[in-house]
Structures are given as C-alpha cells and as structure tokens.
Amino acid sequence: MDIKLGKIDFTALDRPVIFLYGSEVASRSLPLKRDEVSYLGQRRKDDISSLVVFSRLPHKIFVQNFDSELPSSECLEKLRRSAAELQFMLCKEKMEKVAITGEGVIPEEMVAFIEGLHMAAYRFDKYKSKKDTLLKEVVVEKHIIEQAALDENIRLWRRIDTMRDWVNEPVMQLNAPRFADILKVEAESVGKVKCTIMGQKKIESLKMGGLLAVNRGSEDEARFVVLEYKPGDRINKKPVALVGKGVMYDTGGLNIKPDDYMTEMKSDMAGAALMASTVLAAAENALPIWIKAYLPLTDNRPGKNAYAADDILTMFDGTTVEITNTDAEGRLILADAIAYASQDKPELIVDAATLTGAAVRALGTKVAAAMQEGADGPMKLMSIVGGKVYERLAVLPFWKDYDELLKSEVADMINCNLHANAGTITAGRFLLHFAHGCPYIHLDIAGTAFYSKRESFYGTGASGFGLRLLYAFFQMYNIVGK
C-alpha cells in the first residue's frame, strides 16, 4: 500500500474519501448538505462509532464517527478497529484508492486509523491464484500529520508485514537454514545491523545441549543467529538482549501433538520473527538504543535419533535438565540462548515465545502473559506502552515458590512441570534460571501471535503482535527506571 500526503479537494474528487469525525468537530466543517448533516448528527447520537456513507457520483464519502473524548488508548484502538471494518468493506467493493481527511483530528488519531487500515489490508496470498482486491494508494490530508512522522510509521508497518510473512510461511519453504539466510540479507539491506550465523558445528562446539537435542529429530540443521544494532548515539552503555523462540515447526517430538494441535505450528517461530523484526525496525528508524537479538532456530520432529522423555541434557551453561515432555522444547532452545546472551552482561534480557497452551487457557487471545525478575522499571514501562498501543500484558506472579515444581530427582531440574498447575509461570521460572542474575522479562505470546479466525486489523494467521509494543517500549526506553 502506497501512503502519501496531499491536498484533498471535495469539489474535484478523484477517489472515495474517508472523513474522520471526532467529538470536537464542528458540523459546519463537514463536506455535506444540510439534511445530510442532520442525518449524520442523529446517527452519532445512536452510535458514536458508526460509519455513515454518502454517495457522490462517481465516488463516495465515508464518514467515520468516533469519540475523541474517550481515554486516549481506547479511542485510538477503536479507530484502528473501525479502519479494519472499513477496509474489509472497501475490499468487497474492489476499491483500490482512497483519500483520508477530517477536522479536529490530531495526528495520533490519524496515525491510528491509517495503522488499522494498513494492517487490515495485509494478506498472505502468494500461493493463491485468486487474490483479493486491496487498497493500493492512500492519500492523507497533509495538514493533519507531518511527513517525517508518517514515514517512520510506514517503515514500522511494512516491517510488521514482513514479520507476518515469515510466520505465515510453511516450514517446507522456511526451515532454520533458510530463515537464517533471509535474516542475513535483511540485515545487509537495512544496514547498521550486524548478523552472525552459527551453523551446526559451531552450535556443537558451544555445547548448546537444548538446541542440539531438539534438533536431533530433524533432517535440517539448526542455526543460531545473533543480530546486533549498536548506534553511535545509543542511550544505553550495555545492550538489551532480545531472545526469540525459533521453532520453525513443532510436531511435539516423540510426545507428538494429538488431534489438530499440530495445525498452525508453523507459527512456533513467531518469537524469533518478533525479536529479529524489533532489531531491524529500530535500525530502520534510527532509534538510539543498543539491542541484540539471539535467535535459536530448529524444528521439532520425532524422526531420526529424536530426543526422548527421561533423557538428561547438559545445557550451554552446564545445567543438567531431565526431559519430562519433548513438546516442551521451546524453553530448551531458549535456555541455551538466554544463557549465551547473559555472557554479554546485558542490562536487560527480554524473551518472547509462543510457549504454553496454559497462557491461552488462562488469558485467551487478547493479551500476552508477562513475568519479570529484577526488572520492575522496564516491566512497568512495557505495561504502560502496551496499554497505549493496545498490545496489552497480563503480569503474572513470579515467586520463587514455583521452583518446587521444577525439581528433578536425577538432574538439576526438569524441563516441564508434570502437573497442570501454573504451566505458564513454571515455564518462565525455568527460563529465569538461565538469565544468571540479569534483569529479566519473559513474554508468552502463545495466544496472540496467530489467529485461526479474523481478529480485527490483525486479520487471520500471523498477527504481528508485539512489534508495536516493543518498538514503543524502545522509543521511551530513556525514561525506564533502572
């Protein structure tokens, strides 16, 4: 979608126009006849979020009502969701060009609406012979938003599109070696990002027992990728480490997934896609933040010499882990990556993973689970910006008491709590062990990374959830309490 600024002339329309009508807008500013203004006023009284359509041959005017007096975050989210519904209407009518204007609309409101429109226009349709007719060109009234602000957001939205493409791609097209190669090309294209790819022999020499074990059932070699963005004007003296789960496909291993639980498991690398995209987005928009992404990549298969329950692994940091369930593989590859990242003495470690079904059962698909240890300030900031961009976090208790559920009789710890209790929290506590005292935040995005049914502007399939959250977090990172 091409988004640009321009002057919109209602006396000579060359395309349909979307007019944003907030609560503070005077009716005299509307490009409507007197009876139409009266009708619109009644519709606003009935439903302040209604969409009203007026015909203007050969085009239409879509008046999108919204309540600008709502709390800011709620107002902006309603605009995104209204934009998504309008986009689906435009798609059905096969409209490829629109203009967007309004009066009394602040830049933040306009950005939210365009964001919803852009994200709802995403389709993973490269394998479809018949494709939807989508918006190709959007002209935005130039007096409402500055070009630089629009350009920054466009770069972020396009990065979200690319992230969604990666998560939607089936494993037969995107295995661990291929994804590593793509990340190297992306880093070189963006510039300012250093990409280090470690192959199978290097991983073996590092003795990453978790990543190697999960990879044992696969025909494809594992990869461990590190992306680093270190700008000269960085505000942090030590890096922030971002660790993302990169299970390219998860069968469950020998504890194979039953019924249809294997469907959509191409999305089990969404954490790695998110953390890679965060580094690339920060570089593209020159955020003054030093960040490094650590991405362990493999699939989890029951073939070859697959690891099994009762196996005992020795991890990168020397910790021994008794395997109780091979479908708890994500935490094993993350553990090695977190321990590796801790060597760099980062000021904060943040991991993201589609880690537990327990998170979905507890919280549903509207919010991600979050836990922290030694990172009160960053967690508070992340929760605040999560509310602002409406990619919200539910912060769970993270008490040491939960470690009792990870005790093993034959090793330092087990990889999976065998009871149904506190599955999301114990997974986080397992990972915390490998942070070795570094301030730590764990994000379980299992419920939000991929949708089987359309979820507003997130659409169907890969949602892109988390990138707007982390980008906003790093935009404001200078105020974090350390």
Whether pLDDT at 103 is above 90: no
pLDDT score of 285: 98
Question: How far, in Å, CA of 297 to CA of 314, rounded?
Answer: 18
Q: By C-alpha distance, which of 352, 333, 357, 327 is closest to 444?
A: 352
**Domain positions in the chain:** 2-145, 171-479
pLDDT score of 27: 67
Question: How far, in Å, CA of 226 to CA of 161, rounded?
Answer: 22
Question: How many CB atoms neighbour CB 161 within 10 A?
Answer: 17
Question: How far, in Å, CA of 390 to CA of 386, rounded?
Answer: 6
With beta carbons less than 8 A apart as the criterion, state whether 16 and 98 touch: yes
Please state which of the four CATH numbers 3.30.390.50, 3.40.50.2300, 3.20.80.10, 3.40.220.10 is assigned to the domain occupying 2-145. 3.40.220.10
pLDDT score of 185: 98
Retrieve residue 34's tokens: 């007197």
Catalytic residue numbers? 257, 331
The reply to whether domains 2-145 and 171-479 share a CATH topology is: no
Retrieve residue 227's tokens: 């992306």
Whether pLDDT at 11 is above 90: no
pLDDT in tens, 257-270: 998 889 999 999 99
Percentage of the chain exceeding pLDDT 90: 91
Retrieve residue 407's tokens: 């005790």
Q: Which runs of consecutive H residues, i.e. helices, occur in 234-356?
A: 270-284, 330-342
pLDDT in tens, 17-75: 999 999 766 666 778 888 998 999 899 999 999 999 998 878 899 999 999 999 999 99
- 171-479 maps to CATH 3.90.420.10: no
pLDDT in tens, 118-141: 999 999 999 999 999 989 999 999
